[in-house]
Structure 1
Amino acid sequence: MTDTQNATTERAGSDDAVVEILDESNAADRARLVSIEKDQSVRRLDTLREQQISLAAVIPPPDDALLTESPRWVYYPWRSSLVRMLGPDGFRRLRLDRNRNKITAAEQDRLTGVTVGVLGLSVGHAVAHTLAVEGLAGTIRLMDFDTIDLSNLNRVPGSVFDLGVNKAVVAARRIAELDPYLRVEIAPGGLDEDTVADFLDGLDIVLEECDSFDAKVIVRDHARARGIPVIMETSDGGVLDVERFDLDGERPLFHGLLGEIDAAALSGLTTAQKVPLGITLLDAARVTARMAASAVELGRTISTWPQLGGDVALGGATCAAAVRRLALGYPLPSGRIRVDLDAELGSLVDPLTATPPPPRSATAPDDVAVTFGSLPDREAVVYAGMRAPSAGNAQPWAVSLDDTGVTVTLRDGAQRGDIDRRASAVALGAMAFNIDVAAAARSVAGHLAVTGSGSDLALRYSFGDGADPQRADLLDAMLRRATDRRPGDGSPLSDDEVDALDTATRVSGGFARIVTDRAALVRCGGVLAASDRIRRLTPALHAEMVAEVRWPDSDADPRTGLTLDTLGVGRGGLGMLAVTRRSDVMALLAEWDAGSALGAPTQGLVASGSAIVAICQDGDTSADHVRGGTAAQAMWVRACELGLSICPVTPVSLHARDDTDREALSPGRADELSRLDAELRALFGVDDGRSIAMVVRVFRADGAPPVSLRRAQS
């Protein structure tokens, strides 16, 4: 087929479905345009500039070849009109742009190689048009012997100007007006033993929507022999049938519902004689009441099967969904489904009165200072220790108290991101800080010992009889310390505030790299956003992240993890949070290598802050990470004294030490994580041989944030 014709026919009078596509850069086409324009009745429609502006605005931006593609003039003889359009590639890119990502660009390209045949262009008109609208085929072949009658216009989306025109021609015209570049073929006449071979030749899928039972049998018989799947929609109760003759060459026609059936015996059946077959095929027990009652009246008070335009439109949608799955290789077995909108509308649920699942009873948060003050000295020290922060409020510790001290070990079941239990070591360091401050305040200060490494890491705080007023002065801020996940006001830190944070970190055995430059903050935000994207697109990491959140329908212990009120998202943000909770959504974004927006909340929060701080330590042993955690908690408590808020924004691979760690963390993304880690270390100026225990954003926000609950003493 040439560029100047998108519909072919051998049927007399159907040439009115053929358009001419003319390229002004071609001399012959220019001459033809001149010839057409001599006819004063021909109208011109030129919106090329607007089309070009829209094409240039699509995301991702089209390449120069698409933007400079030669436009075309399309001549529609039945409308006596010339329409100027983008070239075929640009037209297709722009017309189908809004399909993404219901249909990806790669899938859309695959669909151009699909050829479908539509038999019967009453219901089939809606089917063929929907296939064209969605771009589900590169070629659509249409067959119907009949012409449009006024009685067809209750369901066929034609017009009074189409009366007396072949139904296939009417459908082809409508598709040509939608997309003149889509190849449409009109098969002549009706389907019988003489024409079925030509109709099926080269088809990948058949959509059968004809009234004739003998034609239904013939097309299935031959489609089964050729291994071509057949789809049929019946406009009663939304019945959709799929017969995968491509998978089973012995499968009985119509799922065996009509038994052995002979096309010759069905030839010439009257409407009344078709009724039993139709009712049997649809299942008498499940035919809608109105259709069943109408069947009794056929030939008496009504002349033929009733059909509604809405039911026919629904058939176009369900057939298109089936074609999409078939053509793209997604699972679609032989079988039947009912998409009965009337039945569904009879079961409407009012969200205002629907009973939500009962939420798990929540534990009221402690008044931390009051609770601490009410406890005996040693129990108070343990209580303060367990108020320490941990990644996702996982509280990875097990704590035991005896007469001489507190022993802290690690629980089993480390998360994937807790490589060699380094994140847990940081949490134990924060706990050690809290224990030491509380012990100083209760005059039982002693000394800390760190033993073991990895999963065998343990702390032992031995009580003494010491008091440290300077240390005890930190108690109030330590008990008030909380993670604040709200945005900041963007105000800068003063030099005194920066010095105070830096000093608190150094006194506790670590050091801080504090970034306050606005441009550097933006770069940090980009790195952290990219890391968050990887966290969500990696199934195991995403599952761990989702498990941290305590949704109202969650059975998890609300004294661990993060309740919704602590996440800092408004009501409008909960919907998107629920979307990012879904593993199927993340799987699609990973498959498409998309999801850049997944890190946008982190990037925005970083941009709203006053500083990004990396709390670091020399060395990389478990004891070093404990020391880093202590330094991080010391800085956090000092920030609380200064009226500053803190929220960890630790990147997913912060504790990875090599590409083996990174590959285990997120398979296939080791290189990307390595690049992000190197970029972050460079931004903070962290040398080799030094480790980062935690990355936090520092900011100002009004009021106190909600406080996460903690387990009881374990």
Structure 2
Amino acid sequence: MTKNYSEPDVLAQLLAERPSGGDVVKPLFFRLGNISDRQGLSNLLEKKPYIRIFDSIDQQLTELIKSFHPKLTLSGDEIRSLVAEHLAGISKIDYGVWVYYPWNETLVHILDEDEFITMRTSRNRYKITQDEQMRLMTKRIGVIGLSVGQSVSLTLCMERGVGELRIADFDELEITNLNRLRSGLHNMGLKKTVIVAREIAEIDPFLKVTCYHEGVTDANLEDFLLHDGKLDLLIDECDGVDVKINCRLAAKKHGIPVLMEASDRGTVDIERFDLEPDRPILHGFVEHLDLSNVRLAKTMEEKLPYILPIVGIETMSTRLKASAIEIGQTISTWPQLASAVAFGGGMAADVSRRVLLGQFNQSGRYFIDLEELIGDQVRTDVTFEYTKRSLSPDEMAAAASRVPPVAEHVDTITESEVRELISAVAAAPSPGNNQPWKWYYDGTRFYLFHDIQRSESFGDFQNMASYMTFGTAIENLNLKAKDLGIKVIENLFPLEDEPMLIGAFSFVYADIEKDELSHFLTIRCTNRRKGNGNRLTGNILDDFRDAVRDFDRLKLKIVVEDKQVQRLASIAGEAEKLRLFIPQGHYELFEKELRWTEREALETKDGLDIQTLELSPKDAIGFRVARDPMAVKLVAEWGLGRALENMTADLMKTASAIGLVVIPTFDRTALIEAGKAVERIWLSATRNKVSMQPVLASVLHFARLMHGKDGTGMPGWIQNRFGELKGEFDSIFDNGSTEESVFLFRLFYGNDPQVKSLRLDADQFFIHQNNN
């Protein structure tokens, strides 16, 4: 039987307590057959005549008697007779136990422990057999974290699937907890352990609940797991990353299984350290991390490498991914819903019971996703048609054969020179590192073809980006040829009926002045790191202007004033976000451009290796979250997504200067000239040890807005917003009505990139007729 708590000193202390009972979580028991208890209850009622009394012993005795005779339908008289027989002369008022709850000044008359438990669990049978119930009542379960953990704890209690429940949480109830933690307003400010322990006591005053009001710490973790007997199961529902890691390490040491319910997609995680003593914690997802440093992680940036494998970014629900994008922007932490918490409490209790009874012996991460099981069947796969076809080698040869010869004398260059020239053009930059070229060599001339299957995209409106890319490659060809003493005779778009043929290039040995920029062809690269804010000198700015002085049809505009840089940063950031809000733009970045693993980058040798983005741990997780098109679609519908702007905007804000290349007419020849100029600017920056990064989302979409029919594929509200951004953009650069902005870039001083994009092998883009 449960120990009486009606000794005079304990009672005196309780009577002196404030009405809420402080942190008291255990009720008092009064058995009136005991003289001391009878006197204690009398004293209590005399001191506190306002105590509310609830006596339903008649009803309880009736149900008890019925349970003894399940085959019979007893009449009222028969029940009364059997109750009297059961009481054996004891008055009803003296039978059972009176339970006093000091925190709500309530006195309840109930059956005593054995009969109470029998009746409390009678409706469990035979979902749970009597033998199983008895076994469960010998088990000890620890629950860390009492927001989600409250639902778990109460469900375990109601099912009586535990003999001792240890609960730990340092936090107090706040108003924001009330969307998922079941409690009344009068409990705000109380410790969560107190709230949960009291509610359990009001359901079952005989169930042993041990509270760790300070939460689980390094100092008490062993005590929590082992005091008065080792836990049979640990349930982790805490928010602290260090506690999640450390409690698993300790549980593994002591052979205690760990269960976690994540309240998203019905995620249940179980680690059977009792059956698998050598099992890595968290299924090995954190093996690559130094777990000894987890307690030193204080900032979100430091915690994220540990949070990522625990949360499981790829398996989060769409709503949670969308919400994650807003953390630190419009919400402060992960959202949770009462429906998910209640559902999780039931699942955790169910899994706990089967683990403790030896009916479930697996480890793993499981999902009971109600939206998938009960919901409209919605297609989440996003595909787009890419219909344009690149020319085959035979078609390229046929086109090349139709190009008229040049009038002047030309030379046949050596195989060594061919290799050097091809190496130079391969080093040219391209959007998303798509390398949209095929070079054909007939033994005399180079022919540049558009490998349009590599470049066809929403961002490459009317081949705008590709033409500039061809310009950079042609400039590299010219620079390297000069270095070799070769003059290039250039013939752009030689066949009007074959737009895929960009140009034909013949060679003449000549005494030609070399260009120092050729020394930087293979050094030049895109740098996506932050700048240090140092200003560019006038000499360096003049060097950029000198680099493009021979291009009469274009202008180079450079902004250095900080206020304008900040405004451009905001425009560029928002343009990048709007790009992601366009389904095709989102698809092309995340599924076509990015290479998510080192292996993928090595296999394709194109696209953007995710490592080249130089992402912080926080931004890396953000990228993985934003990869889900449905999550980004939700953010767009909500009119949110500032976090999707931040990476680009933050980089732009560290620029020493922001440059813009402007052309007078939006045509392919002018765009190729712009590409040549861009490459010379970039090589000049490299020579001056200045880093450069193109930032093109704004100008590419401005072009689509201005020259496409009805914004060609952009939702109306996005068109409107791009129109507003363009007006501000043009005012910053003082653009005239006939000036076309085609290439935006930032210039800055910063550390060199740690990883550079890979390039296709020559045999993937160069066709040598004589080697066929």
Change (3 A) 1:45 1:498: farther
Change (3 A) 1:657 1:379: same
Count of matched residue positions in the alignment of Structure 1 and Structure 2: 449
Query: 1:514-536, CA deviations, whole angstroms, 9 ceiling, x for partnerless residues?
Result: 11001111111111122233344
CA contact (8 A) 2:450 2:501 kept: yes
Whole-angstrom distance in 2 between the partners of 1:313 and 1:566 = 40
Query: 1:145-174, CA deviations, whole angstroms, 9 ceiling, x for partnerless residues?
Result: 99xxxx97613769xxxxxxxxxxxx9799
Q: 1:377 matched to which residue of 2? A: 417
- Residues 565-604 of structure 1: pairs in structure 2 closer than 5 A: 566-569=612-615, 573=616, 576-577=619-620, 579-582=622-625, 587-592=630-635, 593=638, 594-604=640-650
Greater displacement, 556-565 / 377-386: 556-565
CA contact (8 A) 1:610 1:698 kept: yes
Q: 1:93 matched to which residue of 2? A: none
Whole-angstrom distance in 2 between the partners of 1:406 and 1:636 = 24
CA contact (8 A) 1:550 1:561 kept: no
Change (3 A) 1:463 1:564: same
Change (3 A) 1:645 1:136: same
CA drift at 1:698: 0.9
Whole-angstrom distance in 1 between the partners of 2:442 and 2:713 = 39
CA drift at 1:662: 5.2
Whole-angstrom distance in 2 between the partners of 1:702 and 1:338 = 44
Structure 1 position 456 matched with structure 2 position 499? yes
Structure 1 position 499 matched with structure 2 position 542? yes
Q: Which amino acid aligns with 1:525?
A: A
CA contact (8 A) 1:613 1:698 kept: yes
Whole-angstrom distance in 2 between the partners of 1:81 and 1:316 = 28
Q: 2:555 matched to which residue of 1? A: 511
CA drift at 1:397: 0.9
Q: Select the residue among 673, 680, 690 that pairs with 2:722.
A: 673
Query: 1:521-580, CA deviations, whole angstroms, 9 ceiling, x for partnerless residues?
Result: 1111111122233344555434432443362242663532234564445xxx25742551
Q: Can you give the 5+ residue segments of structure 2 that lack an aligned partner in the other structure?
A: 1-14, 23-50, 53-99, 106-122, 125-132, 169-181, 208-228, 240-257, 291-412, 767-772
Whole-angstrom distance in 2 between the partners of 1:393 and 1:604 = 22
Structure 1 position 685 matched with structure 2 position 769? no
Whole-angstrom distance in 1 between the partners of 2:751 and 2:236 = 53
Structure 1 position 351 matched with structure 2 position 351? no
CA contact (8 A) 2:158 2:203 kept: yes
CA drift at 1:427: 0.2
Q: 1:657 matched to which residue of 2? A: 704
Q: Which amino acid aligns with 1:701?
A: G
Structure 1 position 487 matched with structure 2 position 530? yes
Whole-angstrom distance in 2 between the partners of 1:533 and 1:41 = 58
Q: 1:638 matched to which residue of 2? A: 684
Structure 1 position 709 matched with structure 2 position 755? no
Q: Secondary structure at the match of 1:488?
A: coil
- Residues 517-596 of structure 1: pairs in structure 2 closer than 5 A: 517-536=561-580, 538-546=582-590, 547-549=593-595, 551-554=597-600, 557-563=603-609, 566-569=612-615, 573=616, 576-577=619-620, 579-582=622-625, 587-592=630-635, 593=638, 594-596=640-642
- Residues 132-147 of structure 1: pairs in structure 2 closer than 5 A: 133=147
CA contact (8 A) 1:539 1:583 kept: no
Whole-angstrom distance in 2 between the partners of 1:380 and 1:400 = 15
Q: 1:154 matched to which residue of 2? A: 164
Q: Secondary structure at the match of 2:452?
A: coil
CA drift at 1:451: 5.2
Q: Secondary structure at the match of 1:530?
A: helix
Whole-angstrom distance in 2 between the partners of 1:40 and 1:454 = 99
CA contact (8 A) 2:486 2:509 kept: yes
Change (3 A) 1:453 1:532: farther
Q: 1:409 matched to which residue of 2? A: 449
Query: 1:646-695, CA deviations, whole angstroms, 9 ceiling, x for partnerless residues?
Result: 11122256244327575625786333333333332332222333222211
Query: 1:211-253, CA deviations, whole angstroms, 9 ceiling, x for partnerless residues?
Result: xxxxxxxxxxxxxxxxxxxxxxxxxxxxxxxxxxxxxxxxxxx
CA contact (8 A) 1:454 1:622 kept: no
Q: 1:606 matched to which residue of 2? A: 652
CA contact (8 A) 1:483 1:705 kept: no
Structure 1 position 418 matched with structure 2 position 460? yes
Query: 1:404-435, CA deviations, whole angstroms, 9 ceiling, x for partnerless residues?
Result: 32211211321222122111111011112112
User: Radius of gyration: which is bigger?
Assistant: 2
CA drift at 1:402: 2.3
Q: Secondary structure at the match of 1:664?
A: coil
Q: Which amino acid aligns with 1:485?
A: R
CA contact (8 A) 2:662 2:743 kept: yes
CA drift at 1:491: 1.4
Whole-angstrom distance in 2 between the partners of 1:391 and 1:482 = 13
Query: 1:489-516, CA deviations, whole angstroms, 9 ceiling, x for partnerless residues?
Result: 2111222322332342342242112110
Q: 1:194 matched to which residue of 2? A: none
Whole-angstrom distance in 1 between the partners of 2:482 and 2:586 = 40
CA contact (8 A) 2:601 2:607 kept: no
Q: 1:627 matched to which residue of 2? A: 673
Whole-angstrom distance in 2 between the partners of 1:454 and 1:312 = 73
Q: Secondary structure at the match of 2:704?
A: coil
Whole-angstrom distance in 2 between the partners of 1:708 and 1:316 = 41
CA contact (8 A) 1:399 1:409 kept: yes
Greater displacement, 497-506 / 461-470: 461-470
Q: Which amino acid aligns with 2:566?
A: V
Q: Secondary structure at the match of 1:376?
A: helix
Change (3 A) 1:616 1:555: closer
Greater displacement, 584-593 / 501-510: 584-593
CA contact (8 A) 2:468 2:671 kept: yes
CA contact (8 A) 1:505 1:631 kept: yes
CA contact (8 A) 1:451 1:457 kept: no
Q: Can you give the 5+ residue segments of structure 1 that lack an aligned partner in the other structure?
A: 1-38, 47-74, 83-118, 159-170, 191-209, 211-306, 355-372
CA drift at 1:44: 9.1
Q: Secondary structure at the match of 2:605?
A: coil
- Residues 121-520 of structure 1: pairs in structure 2 closer than 5 A: 133=147, 154-155=164-165, 176=187, 177=190, 311=233, 313=235, 342=274, 347-348=279-280, 349=284, 351=287, 376-413=416-453, 414-441=456-483, 442-450=485-493, 456-465=499-508, 467=510, 469-470=512-513, 472-508=515-551, 509-520=553-564
Query: 1:368-423, CA deviations, whole angstroms, 9 ceiling, x for partnerless residues?
Result: xxxxx996334433332222110111101111122332211211321222122111
CA contact (8 A) 1:43 1:81 kept: yes
Change (3 A) 1:506 1:519: same
Q: Which amino acid aligns with 1:347?
A: R
Whole-angstrom distance in 2 between the partners of 1:661 and 1:436 = 39
Query: 1:346-375, CA deviations, whole angstroms, 9 ceiling, x for partnerless residues?
Result: 632482599xxxxxxxxxxxxxxxxxx996
Instruction: Please report the TM-score for the alignment, with normalisation by the length of structure 1.
Output: 0.51
Query: 1:606-645, CA deviations, whole angstroms, 9 ceiling, x for partnerless residues?
Result: 2222101011111112222112111211222222333322
Change (3 A) 1:585 1:467: same
Whole-angstrom distance in 2 between the partners of 1:454 and 1:537 = 37
